[in-house]
């Protein structure tokens, strides 16, 4: 089956809710979560090739948007001092250390911290208690795997394609030894062309909206107007086509 086909991606159940509407979200998802928990302790027996095989159910919560992760894991909103959904870093700590971070948060730990937040066993002040629970302020009700979220997948992939577009415009495959000035020139050419053709305004730093607009067939067709070699044009189109087909797959894994 194709990666983007109904066979691979057809949803079992489709529900719509505003992720910031906590009451509606929990009302819709709570029965689903209860059913999942019941299924985890059960087994499915199937006959395959004349042999009975037992299967267990394992649910992996991946590909969520950061805002939704914060909502279902009981974390404060994205304006919180605790900037990360994967570790306990504050904004100040993150700004001083942009490289070395470990994944320290977990669903079970968030549940424990919620109980501490709710009961306040050490009779601490609000600020002291908030510092102890590291940004947990509601009961987590869905377990998510600590992995890169969908937004940052989009941003990372778009940043790589943005770089590839510039390299193809400058024909780096012919001359890999290029200067910073030349690279800057190609970026300027690309930005001007994208603004003219797609009304895609240049940005200082890659963000989600720009990333989603960039990753489209219209974009690669516009970029191909700046690429001289027909073979390279076809390769770019094929690469973007493959990316768009595979997007549901990597977002779910």
**In the predicted model, what is the mean pLDDT of residues 199-223?**
93
pLDDT score recorded for residue 59 = 85
Under a CB-based contact definition with an 8 Å cutoff, are residues 130 and 59 in contact?
Answer: no
**Secondary structure percentages of the chain, helix, strand, coil, to 5:** 55, 5, 40
Between vectors from CA 9 to CA 155 and to CA 70, what angle results, nearest 5°?
A: 45
pTM for this entry: 0.64
Q: Where exactly are the structural domains of the chain? A: 15-59, 64-147, 150-251
Helix then strand count (H, E) for the chain reads 11, 2
pLDDT score recorded for residue 138 = 93
* Per-residue pLDDT tens over the stretch 80-113: 999 888 889 998 988 887 666 788 899 999 999 9
Q: When comparing pLDDT for 223 and 95, which is higher?
A: 223
* Per-residue pLDDT tens over the stretch 20-55: 788 888 888 889 889 988 999 999 999 999 999 999
pLDDT score recorded for residue 62 = 76
pLDDT score recorded for residue 67 = 86
Name residue 52's beta-bridge partners: 47
Average pLDDT, the chain: 88
* Per-residue pLDDT tens over the stretch 130-150: 999 999 999 999 998 877 777
pLDDT score recorded for residue 5 = 61
| CA dist., res. 8 & res. 156, Å (int) | 24
pLDDT tier at 56 (50, 70, 90 boundaries)? very high
Q: Token digits for 166?
A: 């510039």
Under a CB-based contact definition with an 8 Å cutoff, are residues 150 and 202 in contact?
Answer: no
Percent with pLDDT over 70 in the chain: 91
H or E element, residue 52: strand 51-56
**In the predicted model, what is the mean pLDDT of residues 4-15?**
62
């Amino acid at each position: 089956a194709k990666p983007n086909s109904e066979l691979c991606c057809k949803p079992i159940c489709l529900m719509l809710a505003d992720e910031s509407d906590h009451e509606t979200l929990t009302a819709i998802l709570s029965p689903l979560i209860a059913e999942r928990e019941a299924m985890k302790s059960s087994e499915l027996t199937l006959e395959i090739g004349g042999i009975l095989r037992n299967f267990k159910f394992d649910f992996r919560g991946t590909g969520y948007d950061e805002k939704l992760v914060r909502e279902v894991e009981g974390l404060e909103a994205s304006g919180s001092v605790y900037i990360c959904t994967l570790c306990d870093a504050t904004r100040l700590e993150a700004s001083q250390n942009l490289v070395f971070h470990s994944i320290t948060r977990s669903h079970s730990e968030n549940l424990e911290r919620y109980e501490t937040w709710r009961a306040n066993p050490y009779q601490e002040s609000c600020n002291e208690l908030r510092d102890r629970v590291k940004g947990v302020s509601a009961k987590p009700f869905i377990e998510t795997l600590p992995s890169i979220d969908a937004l940052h997948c989009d941003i990372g992939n778009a940043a790589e394609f943005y770089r590839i577009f510039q390299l193809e415009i400058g024909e780096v495959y012919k001359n890999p030894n290029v200067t910073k000035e030349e690279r800057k020139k190609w970026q300027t050419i690309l930005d001007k062309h994208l603004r003219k053709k797609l009304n895609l305004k240049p940005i200082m730093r890659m963000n989600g909206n720009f990333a989603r607009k960039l990753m489209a067939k219209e974009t690669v067709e516009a970029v191909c107007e700046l690429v001289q070699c027909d073979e390279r044009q076809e390769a770019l189109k094929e690469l973007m086509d493959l990316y768009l087909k595979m997007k549901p797959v990597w977002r779910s894994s």
